[in-house]
Amino acid sequence: MNKVQPETILAVKDLVVSFTVENTTTIAVDRAGFELSRGETLGVVGESGCGKSVTALSIMGLLPQPAGRIEAGTIEFMGRDLVTLEKKKMQKIRGEKISMIFQEPMTALNPVHRVGKQINEVYRLHYPGMKPDEIGDRAAGMLAKVGIADPEKVLKAYPHQLSGGMRQRVMIAMALCAEPDILIADEPTTALDVTVQAQILELIKELQTRMSMAVILITHDLGVIAENCDNAVVMYGGQVVEKASVAMLFSNPAHPYTQGLLTSIPGLASTPKTILPTIDGMVPSLEDMPRGCRFSTRCPFVFEPCRDKAPVSLSVGPDHYAACYYLEKEQ
Amino acid sequence: MNQKEQPILRVIDLKKYFPVVGGVFLKQKGWVHAVDQVSFDLHSGETLGLVGESGCGKTTLGRCIMGLYPITSGSVMFKGQDLSNLDRPSKRQMRLKMQMIFQDPFESLNQRHTVREILGEKYRIHRKKEQSLDRSLVRLLEVVGLGERALERFPHEFSGGQRQRIGIARAVSLDPDLIICDEPVSALDVSVQSQILNLLLTLQEKMGLTYLFISHDLSVVRHVSDRIAVMYLGRIVEMADRDDLFAHPLHPYTRALLSAIPAVDPLVKRKRTILTGELPSPENPPQGCRFHTRCPEVMDICKKNEPLFKRIDKAGSDHFAACHLNDRGWHF
């Protein structure tokens, strides 16, 4: 477990992302920050609208235009700030150094082109000099690597002819063509059945070790985080509320939101047919986020300062950070 | 469970085949065996969880019981009466007592109707007196945790969790006995899921409801169910008391499903059975045992003979499974 301090390859600092739709500007990500080391699996967990996907899209430079805008902060990848990087250079990094797979592989693949054509395109983009024959071989090899039994057949298939699990494998193959340093997986198994989910997560883990890449695993499923990640970031309402190693986060959650989340899911340890602890209310929409701590409207420990100003992240243990006034008071 | 008392719902050899058509003249090419020879009893006040992956037929089964799909063969007995033999008025009376909650609270509520209209429709259809309608509606909203103000609002003004509450209010409005819950929390955020599960449990206790709870999420099913049935490719492959099923799963598919649930505890490292391959097409289910193409413990006999779904004596009082392994005195 305890290795030498590994090299940080991605550092997101104080990222603020806004969306402007019909002249209303909302802050989707508010001063989010985290680091990713080489070979690490970082989980980003939160409910819908918590800003986890927007953060990922910001890293990829794929925020929907013109609505989305990075207002402040830096995304440092191997010493370069991706926020200010020019478009051409960003294109070089995207796909080649940092790749992404999405939740719904059906919408991420082009339905009117065969799988082979779509994979070949990736190779042509990243390896301009490569001969068509070699591209074909490499594409088939890549599909074999992601556990597709009959690559030639799949290369000739259209996306709709493949099952959900197969399509996600194809997506992973495409994302890994150029052997990136970072793979961002945005809810990669949410649309899949549990038995297929287990297959895909196992595959990502295996490829990660083989290619020594870092993985950012975005999900709403705490079980997926617990089983697959080294460290995790909990997001709520666009803010990072807690950061810790997975072991720490699950054994000793600090932030009231994380605590609420962990106790409210029915797990194998909970007593069946009993009333579950809940987090009152619901996630506020981005337009009417409370001032101050965004969790203050639902927090059982809320007190005066929470409603005024957003709390800053503070250390609550070794490599364990949480943003909460209540914890500050306790300390 | 109490065996002496008559079950509230009895499903006997239910089959639902959908025709597959193709070609220029839309000739029938085959059948999708969506639900194939499913039988079970449901007793008053209990919750039967129905789990399985997408395409296993669990939703179709729920809809057949509700009468939303005509069944191919078999029968559904509700309170001792065969639903397919009833005339229209009696069927309508029966329907009153059997309701459904849907997965998607965004699509199952009419966007153009206010909550008053959505909830009031039930009373109108079943010709209940309008006199005290408003009072009933307000009381109904209170029961599901929404205020009176909700009456004049449209579904889009509510969050997913609140919409599901409206769906639940609609289902319980006419005091039903049986509710078929089809993935009622799958579309909701994690922190809202537990609120809805709590509501369902409270209502069950208060109103003496019986639930058929369909879900793909085993942790959720475990939390609400007394008994659990596992479906694979249109068949129930195992059925047992909740704790029995989790402690001693007898079917390899159940074991694989259980081991695939990610544990919310990083310190628990379990031995995991990862199934290879994918769900075969229900249009052309495999010969013999339907699970043999993916089964880690497949034997020769599995490819030829379909195992019977039967009571396994050694396992517990009410443990049923369809697997050849159990014929050979195997223990797990």
pLDDT at residue number B2: 47
Angle at A83 between CA A77 and CA A84, to 5 degrees: 105
- Per-residue pLDDT tens over the stretch B6-15: 899 999 999 9
* pLDDT tens digits along B63-102: 999 988 999 999 999 998 898 888 888 888 888 899 999 9
Q: Please identify among residues 198-237 of chain B the ones whose CB lies closer than 8 Å to any CB of chain A.
A: 198, 201-202, 216, 218-220, 222-226
For residue B323, count other CB atoms closer than 10 A to its CB.
25
| Domain enclosing residue A56, as ranges | 8-97+180-330
pLDDT of residue A63: 93
Q: Which residue has the tokens 């080294």?
A: A230
User: How many Cβ pairs closer than 8 A exist between chain A and B?
Assistant: 128
Q: Which of A150, A268, A295 to mutate to test the interface with B (most CBs of B within 10 A)?
A: A268
CA atoms within 13 A on the CB side of A30: 25
Name the residue facing B219 among A224, A261, A267 (closest C-beta).
A267
* Total domains in the fold of chain A: 1
Give me the pLDDT at residue A331, please: 72
**Residue whose tokens read 């697959």:** A228
Nearest residue of A to residue B253, measured between CA atoms: A195
Q: Distance (Å, rounded) from C-alpha B319 to C-alpha B240? A: 4
Chain CA centroid to CA B207, Å: 20
Candidates A174, A233, A310; CA nearest to A10 is A233
> Is residue A63 one of the residues assigned to a domain?
yes
CATH number (domain holding residue A252): 3.40.50.300
In CATH, the number for domain B97-208 is 3.40.50.300
Give domain status of residue A297, yes or no: yes
Does residue A165 sit within a domain?
A: no
Contact B242, B48 (CB under 8 A): no
- pLDDT tens digits, B258-272: 988 887 777 766 677
Q: What is the pTM of this model?
A: 0.88
CATH architecture observed for domain B1-86+226-262+269-332: 3-Layer(aba) Sandwich (3.40)
Q: Is residue A129 in a domain?
A: no
> Do A47 and B189 lie within an 8 Å CB cutoff?
yes
Q: Kind and range of the H or E element at A326?
A: helix A325-330
B-chain residues near A279 (CB < 8 A): 191, 194
pLDDT value at position B328?
66
Locate the chain B residue with the closest alpha carbon to A219: B190
* For range A185-203, the mean pLDDT: 87
Could you tell me if residue B159 is left (phi over 0), alpha (psi between -120 and 50 degrees) or otherwise beta?
Answer: beta
| Identity of the residue in A220, A273, A277 whose CB atom sits nearest the CB atom of B201 | A273
Q: How far is B126 from chain A (nearest CA, A)?
A: 32
The two domains B1-86+226-262+269-332 and B97-208 share their CATH topology (first three levels equal): yes
What pLDDT, on a 0 to 100 scale, did the predictor assign at position B61?
Answer: 95
Question: Helix, strand, coil proportions of chain B in percent (round to 5)?
Answer: 35, 25, 40
The chain A residue lying nearest B254, using CA atoms, is A195
Q: Give the model confidence (pLDDT) of B202-233 as tens digits.
A: 999 999 999 999 999 899 999 999 999 999 99
The Cα of A312 is separated from the nearest Cα of chain B by a number of Å equal to 24
- Determine, yes or no, domain membership for A139: no
Confidence of residue A42 (pLDDT cuts 50, 70, 90): very high
Joined tokens for residue B89: 């008025």
- Domain limits, chain B: 1-86+226-262+269-332, 97-208
CA triple A226-A229-A235, angle to 5 deg = 80
CB of A206 within 8 Å of any CB in chain B?
A: no
